Structure 1
């Protein structure tokens, strides 16, 4: 699907959502897991968000697409939200949110390798390549100076199992995003495609939750308030605001550039931890944040330059 034209201010707001809002959802997942098992947390998150979007679609009288579009949305939704985000939620039982964010930072490179139709655009632009490398270096520097990121939450074996799950999930996420970006028909409202994706992911997560025996272990009356708060934060800010911003952005900007949110999200996650649970920030982390932001600016510099030239003309 060809990239669409969109107002620059809207693109900026969408990037702010995937850069900043998604960074806060790592902490929300941790809170959610204090009362819900991982697949159930994902199922409730996606189904509630899908129902809210469905109501809005009816209010706006959005036209429902044909079977081919529904199939494309369902496949991409299951890949991205169950194989991607769902695997991260499962892995955060064994690794910290900071450790999860480090592994997810490989996402832009996977997009770069998998998005073959844009190889010429990516590899011919020194700003994009340099920015991706600098951003990744900033992530390594950031967590190299972070005690929170290296603190074990279990034995070494379970941690590596968590890392492997996140890597596999990242591959699923990239595959699902490119599947949707390449096959969805132009003109399909983002709210409709996101609704279908969330429904498909919610149903699949519910089945996995049932097969793994989670529904038999849960006692909703015993779920603490902080877990409910984490769930509803994930619904509103994670699945409605940030996810819809992402699915829209990959139709107006190259996916590898949109995926640079994985460089900023860990910084936001640690800053949120510093504000709310008094985690300490060292000087190396502060330097690393500057490096990461420089990398993000470089990857998006061609877009900024093109927008500026268009405004001049």
Structure 2
């Protein structure tokens, strides 16, 4: 009975990181059509952070933190959430949700390159093939005339790439930083810090704030789903899977998320899927596969 229960838990956890994370691009795309991007991201992460601390208190989890850990969670919160996620939400005003997910799937490639530049890590022959395929895939993706001719698309694509650099550097930073040992508490502080910085950015950019009661039903439901499912349930599932299955199996979400996002964007928002995008997806994700099989780079949940 215990084995069956564990199997069910693993299946549900994989469903969470595959489908829920894949759907966050769609949910953000729906919400950013009506809400300012930094305000949207701020509300999502502050709300999720507060809920995490409430749950931690109920479960009697110790949420104390040292000054150094607080400083590091603020840095990580900025790299992953304030910049890494906030600017992606802004870019979704100009770029399709499926396209965004596909471009972000190249993140392990960016992590590998930064590891080589900043840490001097050697790149294996298989990873070199992955990097080459990754660059070809990205070129095929961003060189489509029907995409680059749309207003704001190039600007959005460039900003998404800069966000990937922020996530990649954040991944290397948290690997060595002194952070709270409880991943739930660690996430709560990062989300709260990142959300507060996003609120400050929202005010600096002069975004208009409004009460949830004035939002459309689609945006209200999207926000609830982003907070509860995207920020809390999927992240908890991610950390659970890292404990019970191998990291490379967890990393398969890197391949599945963009496919889910492409399908949902096409089905619900009538986003266009071109033949070149499909070819680019196959080449790019094959490259990511070559990188992950050797490096076993864990996907970063925070930026999603």
Q: Is the 1:65–1:188 contact (alpha carbons within 8 Å) kept by the matching residues of 2?
A: no
Cα distance in structure 2, aligned partners of 1:73 and 1:8: 33
Cα distance in structure 2, aligned partners of 1:246 and 1:73: 19
Cα distance in structure 2, aligned partners of 1:75 and 1:38: 21
Shift of 1:90: 0.9
Could you say which residue in structure 2 is the equivalent of 1:202?
Answer: 195
Cα distance in structure 2, aligned partners of 1:299 and 1:23: 21
Cα distance in structure 2, aligned partners of 1:134 and 1:20: 26
Query: Are 1:32 and 2:31 counterparts?
Result: yes
Shift of 1:194: 0.2
Shift of 1:256: 11
Cα distance in structure 2, aligned partners of 1:129 and 1:252: 30
Among 219, 227, 231, which residue is 1:235 paired with?
227
Q: Is the 1:127–1:302 contact (alpha carbons within 8 Å) kept by the matching residues of 2?
A: yes
Could you say which residue in structure 2 is the equivalent of 1:65?
Answer: 65
Shift of 1:245: 5.6
| Partner secondary structure for residue 30 of structure 1 | helix
Deviation digits for residues 150-200 of structure 1, max 9, x if unmatched? 672xx2xx3333233222222222222222221135x70110100000000
Unaligned runs of 5+ in 1: 1-6, 305-313
Could you say which residue in structure 1 is the equivalent of 2:302?
Answer: none
Query: Are 1:180 and 2:179 counterparts?
Result: no
Cα distance in structure 1, aligned partners of 2:120 and 2:16: 25
Length-normalised TM-score, structure 2: 0.75
Query: Are 1:168 and 2:167 counterparts?
Result: no
Against the structure 1 CA distance between its residues 232 and 146, is the aligned structure 2 distance closer, same or farther, given a 3 Å change threshold? farther
Shift of 1:252: 11
Unaligned runs of 5+ in 2: 1-5, 297-304
Length-normalised TM-score, structure 1: 0.74
Q: Is the 1:190–1:248 contact (alpha carbons within 8 Å) kept by the matching residues of 2?
A: no
Query: Are 1:119 and 2:121 counterparts?
Result: yes
Against the structure 1 CA distance between its residues 220 and 241, is the aligned structure 2 distance closer, same or farther, given a 3 Å change threshold? closer
- Between stretches 266-275 and 54-63, larger displacement belongs to 266-275
Count of aligned pairs between the two proteins:
288
Cα distance in structure 1, aligned partners of 2:13 and 2:251: 12
Shift of 1:86: 0.3
Q: How does 1:122-137 map to 2 (within 5 A)?
A: 123-124=123-124, 126-134=125-133, 137=136
